[in-house]
Chains A and B, each alone.
Chain A
Amino acid sequence: MIEAARSDSKLDGVLARDDLFWLETAELEDLRFALLLDAFARVVARHATYARYCEREGFDAERLAAERTLTDIPLLPSRIFKHGVGEPAEGEDVLLTTSSGTMGGVSVVPRDDATLTRFYAGLAAVVRELLRGENANALILNLGPSAREARALWISYVMAGAAVLHPSRSYVRDGVLDIERACADLLATSDRAVVVGPPQLLLEFARAASCAMAGDHRRRDVMVVSIGGWKVRGGETIARAAFQAEIASSLRISEGDIRDAFSMVELNSVVLECESHRKHLPPWLHARARDPRTLAVLPTGEEGILAYLDATAASYPGFVLSDDLGSVEHAVRCSCGRTGDLLTVTRRVKRVEARGCALRM
């Protein structure tokens, strides 16, 4: 227990640092490895099924420590969480967070206090770094439900999570977006406003706000953060470039102030874009693209299935092979000045049903 507590305090200490995105590559890699080594040991100690899995795979903390091969940590496919495997043991005090179920079946991920606390700490670290300072008097306009109404739906929970860091208002009640109230609040605030929401709702908001601001030439300090699906009804994908151009023009802001954020219910972290529109992986999160056929780790920049190792998940193994295709550029110096791994999420893996007349069961 003392060992575990020490590990936890190391992670918590890291989450509080303010130089996380400015470390040199070697230091960053050492830190990431140390955090994930601790996380792996903790998860194996706590989750018997995962421990047996590792045993069958011949993998343990000693081997990880000796070989330093993070990519050998056994992964769980994210679909496991749709099959009831992520549900907690009896008596465990957890929040059962869920996916939206748009990919067929709802994922259920149990989160205890420690996991949620670290999620918020990680979110705070990411936000203060990439959204220019936590101390700014920012008003968060959340185009989603409040945390109370969002209940367990993870993506709404993430959006509402910003409320912990800043004054915040939510504009979705009973599933309906109150766009007029959101526009009125934007016009009324003299502070910085950060508008958070899924791309489709952000577009609707920006169009309404553009009309509301007609004749008002004041320059506003507005930042827009998109999170969630890029598809609209009918399956059409919103083109990112057109989205940015329309949001920037409607709200009269620079495209650098429009950022996309990524999370998924099986991930206990948020990955946010910098001003150069690149998604920087925080030090507690490791990601690699895997060959879809062999699951071998792909070289930098090559597209494959994205696999994550998240050191902040405690109540479930945060070592997950996702349903997403994308790429990871390793140890890149971004044009924003930061150095690290850059994540690109391309799209979800298509459902098998799209391929023929076979019913997949």
Chain B
Amino acid sequence: MAGRLATTPSTELVNVPKVVLGRIVAPDEDAIIIRTADGLTLRLARFTDGDLVAIASAREQTLSALMDLDIQDTTLFLAAVGRAWLGSLETARTGVLEHVSRTTELPVEMLAQDYRAIGHALSHRAYVYDLFAVELGDEWAMDEWRRVQASTVRAYPRGIVVHGLVGNTPVAGIASIARGLITRNMNLAKVAARDPLSPMFFAQVCAQVDSEHPLVRGLSIGYWEHSDPVGERATCLGDAVCLWGGDEGIAAMRANARPGAPVLEFGPKRSLAVIDLDAADPEVVAMRLATEVSFYEQEACVSPQRLFLKGDYERLRDPLRRFLDIAAQCAPKVTAEPDAHAHVSFARLEAAYRGWPLTCGRDWTIIEAPDPNDVREHPLGRTLYIHSVGSLDEVAEHLDETVQTVGVFPWHIALPHRDAWARRGIARIVELGLSRHPRKGFSHDGLRALNSLVRFVSVERPIDHYYKYLDEPYAEGAERDLFFHD
């Protein structure tokens, strides 16, 4: 099992390999040691300049093989990976998931949901066709020369996509890599110290399905410390760069991106909920809202941090408390980090000082703050600020481009407000409860990500093809005016 993730839950030391061009490499004596707050030790293989040289050297040959694939090849392979991933979940629940829970400090129950979602998404080949249709304009965009006005256009992989991943939502890391795979790029992913295991587990499953598949041979995953110059050189290799996380991490990697390489940034963002309780069942609202507030300990950009509420909060208070308790029973807060708890305690104390009504469970906090502008910081950690509004028209002034998702209930309240809210800079409006389950056609932080991961190559018609702007050939003199001539 050398080079494989240890999967015994009682293991206090986990060896985390790296993946170089699909080959899984165990940590050696130069490994990087990370200790979690609850005492788990991770021994991570160090990503080196030698690995980067190998990736750069293999670029031409690997990309050539990747460009020989078509959408059927890629989706059949990823569907097989998805099925293998789902099949391994039983093992994972007693192994990797336990360890991922300890590194991410997210409950196993939450992670299991995330892992199942990953498996299902990969298993459904049609999703990739749908995604291509939306984001590249055509299901066959990478396979055939498609007529576009007076040209034919085909999309090709950009080359190497570098990913800077975060550890707060395992699904985001796998989604980032999957985008690189379906666009037939080589991929180099820098895992987060908080979750190095999920992307490695994905790579292992890929290799188990077919270790010689071009998508696997183009896949490299590793970890390096912020101060390690190998990070600068790795980012420099990217023909496109996908960055996830907070301001500092994104800024550090963005600075090293090569000129001309598109940099796609996902985060940091915040989300919120808008509810018209006069038109909704408090029990339904409470269940959906409690789940969203609890998931990922609110550390995901899709997690609502505030609720703008029209209607009588008294009708929602008890159901919301009950469902937050249910969420805490199903997926109790597991973090041992004092910092995460400290921020919640600061927020509770501030509320007490300011005289804001405060309701607390063991794992959650509700603070009724009359003026949204008085709330300057959010502690995350299942904390919901509730702002009562007389009219939903009041919500727009509290939105800006830092807001990603507005979860509304009932859904129809979005329609009269979507223009005003969109103009303020938000990225998505969803039905409350679906922020983690984007519907087909959604945009991600305002982007169509696949568009930046391919090169569109056009073959344009010759001048004797009139297309729709000419009724007859250029007059001889006019045609000559396009060129230098004597």
Contact = CB atoms under 8 A, between A and B. Distances in A.
A353 B267 CA distance: 10
A361 B245 CA distance: 15
A350 interface: yes
A236 B23 CA distance: 33
B339 A349 contact: yes
A305 B354 CA distance: 21
Interface stretch (B202-210, B344-352, B473-481): B344-352
B355 interface: yes
Interface string A322-358: 0101000000000000000000000001101111111
B269 A359 contact: yes
Give the bracket for the number of chain B residues in contact with chain A.
35 or more
A357 B343 contact: no
Contacts of A325: 338-339, 342
B484 interface: no
A357 B245 contact: yes
A22 interface: no
A284 B340 CA distance: 31
B411 to A, nearest CB: 24
Nearest to B227: A234
Nearest to B445: A357
Given A234-B227, A292-B339, A356 B166 contact: yes
Contacts of B245: 356-357
Contacts of B377: 79, 82-83, 105, 352, 360-361
Contacts of B344: 293
Contacts of A350: 339
A52 B353 CA distance: 8
B246 A354 contact: yes
Interface string B321-355: 00000000000000000111111111001101111
B483 to A, nearest CB: 53
B270 A305 contact: no
A282 to B, nearest CB: 25
B168 A361 contact: no
Interface in B27-65: none
A356 B299 contact: yes
A323 B345 CA distance: 11
Given A356-B296, A356-B300, A361 B345 contact: no
B79 to A, nearest CB: 28
A217 interface: no
Given A355-B168, A359-B267, A360-B380, A80 B339 contact: no
Contacts of B402: 359, 361
Contacts of A80: 350, 353
Interface in B344-372: 344-346, 349-350, 352-355
Interface in B259-299: 266-270, 296, 298-299
Contacts of B269: 357-359
A295 B349 contact: yes
Nearest to B271: A358
B268 A79 contact: no
Interface string A91-104: 00000000000000
Interface in B164-186: 166-169, 172
Contacts of B296: 356
A355 B248 CA distance: 11
Nearest to B338: A292
Given A236-B227, A357-B244, A357-B267, A295 B345 contact: yes
A227 to B, nearest CB: 24
Contact of B248 (A292, A353, A357, A359): A353
A303 B167 CA distance: 26
A77 to B, nearest CB: 4
Nearest to B350: A77
Contacts of B338: 292, 303-305, 325, 349
Contacts of B303: 358
Nearest to A75: B349
A354 B377 CA distance: 14
A293 B341 CA distance: 5
A264 to B, nearest CB: 15
A76 interface: yes
A314 B402 CA distance: 39
Q: 9 nearest interchain CB pairs?
A: A357-B267, A356-B168, A356-B299, A359-B268, A292-B341, A292-B338, A293-B341, A292-B342, A353-B246
Interface of B: 166-169, 172, 194, 226-227, 244-248, 266-270, 296, 298-301, 303, 305, 338-346, 349-350, 352-355, 374, 376-380, 402
27 contacts: A50-B353, A56-B355, A57-B352, A74-B352, A76-B353, A77-B349, A77-B350, A77-B353, A293-B341, A303-B338, A305-B338, A321-B346, A349-B339, A349-B342, A350-B339, A352-B380, A353-B247, A355-B340, A356-B166, A356-B167, A356-B296, A356-B299, A357-B246, A357-B301, A359-B268, A360-B377, A361-B402
